Amino acid sequence: MALPKEKFFQNDDRQISFRRLLKRVFLDDWLIKVVAMLITVALWLGVTGLRAPTTARMRSVPLNIRVGNDIEITNSPVQEVDLVITGDKRKIDQLNPRDLVVSLDLTDIAAGDRAVQITPENVNVELPTGVRLEEVQPSKIAVKLERVAERDITVRAETEGSIAENFEIYNQTVSPNKVRVRGPESFIKTLDFISTEKVNLENRDADFTVRQVALNVINPKITLLDTAVDVAFRVGEKRIERLFIVPVESENKRATVVLFGGRSIIEALKPEDLRVENVKNEAGENVLKLDLPPGIQDNVEIRKLK
């Protein structure tokens, strides 16, 4: 009979030890344990609350459209889009739309008028880990794509200011007189000339040359492959016309001569300074020939000889 009694006391001891353990866990220093549990729960709720997925709209994010090397965009498509994103609220709150760029790749699109869909799948935008792009607005844009062409275009010199009194520009020469340009076909086809930056003529009274004059292109779609030219000006005194009646040598006839040149040269000429004779040309025909005094041949133009 001693064995069952001993067993009974062992079971009783175990129950007492279990009760003591429960008391130690749940009752001893219970206030401190309750406070610790409340702090733990608050921290857990705070962290999980911040990490809960949220949806936000990022407005006016710059849109960058990439096209092939031989293609240009010639209309004005939208330059900014709105993004609808989902993810960690903490990370979304730290995003600035101006720090983002949406890239749309059209390098495989052929030339023409295109209506392009914009979806999260065909754009690229760098977002933090845990943030996902859900939607792009607008979801469709109109884009006009044109092939790029090259062409040689005539250069026209532009000037400003007035040359010296009683002087004029006899001629101007641009070198090279044509430059190569590159741009969309429709722009290149309608381009008649390229202007230089303005050359100042103020008080000029002799020949001069301006080196490396920049070219002026207003259309940003046009690219200059040559960016500067030289412009030479021939300047002299103002020119006048004057009529002379000159005897034809060895004949009883008179010739009508009209000369054009610098005022001082033309006014100093006399009819006897001029010599007119009848000669045969290469075809064997009789024609009048005028000989000017030495030294003025390059400065006088024969406007009429009859």
Task: Point out the least confidently predicted range of 30-39, 143-152, 212-221, 292-301.
Answer: 30-39
Closest listed residue to residue 258, CA positions, set 191, 194, 203, 305: 305
Rounded CA-CA distance 156/22 in Å is 102
Answer yes or no: pTM beyond 0.75. Answer: no
Segment 174-189, tens digit of pLDDT: 999 999 999 999 999 9
Same structural domain, 202 and 273? no
Q: Which pLDDT does position 81 carry in this prediction? A: 96
| Residue 256 forms part of a structural domain | yes
Q: Which of 236, 267, 283 is the last residue of a domain?
A: 236
Is 212 within 8 Å of 199 (Cβ atoms)? no
Q: Which pLDDT does position 1 carry in this prediction? A: 47
Count of structural domains, the chain: 3
Q: Which of 236, 251, 279 is the last residue of a domain?
A: 236
Domain limits for position 219: 148-236
Q: Which pLDDT does position 161 carry in this prediction? A: 96
Q: Which pLDDT does position 261 carry in this prediction? A: 94
Is 117 within 8 Å of 138 (Cβ atoms)? no
Spell out the alpha helix ranges (H) of the chain.
2-26, 30-50, 89-93, 185-189, 263-268
Same structural domain, 152 and 221? yes
Same structural domain, 121 and 192? no
For residue 127, which phi and psi values (nearest 5 degrees)? -120, 155
Q: Which of 138, 161, 177 is the last residue of a domain?
A: 138
pLDDT at residue 302 tops 80: yes
| Residue 219 forms part of a structural domain | yes
Q: Which pLDDT does position 120 carry in this prediction? A: 96
**Angle CA(247)–CA(250)–CA(254) in degrees, nearest 5?**
20
More confident residue, 251 or 152: 152
| Residue 15 forms part of a structural domain | no
Confidence of residue 13 (pLDDT cuts 50, 70, 90): low
Structure tokens at 191: 């381009």
Same structural domain, 291 and 245? yes
Same structural domain, 224 and 243? no
Is 243 within 8 Å of 258 (Cβ atoms)? yes
Report the chain's mean pLDDT, rounded to a whole number.
87
Q: Which residues, 6+ apart, have CB-to-CB distance to 182 below 8 Å?
A: 148, 149, 150, 188, 222, 223, 224, 225
Distance (Å) of CA 284 to CA 41, 249, 251: 121, 19, 19
Closest listed residue to residue 187, CA positions, set 143, 147, 227, 141: 147
Q: What is the CATH number of the domain that holds 90?
A: 2.170.120.30
Segment 204-248, tens digit of pLDDT: 999 999 999 999 988 888 999 999 999 999 999 999 999 999 999
| Residue 111 forms part of a structural domain | yes
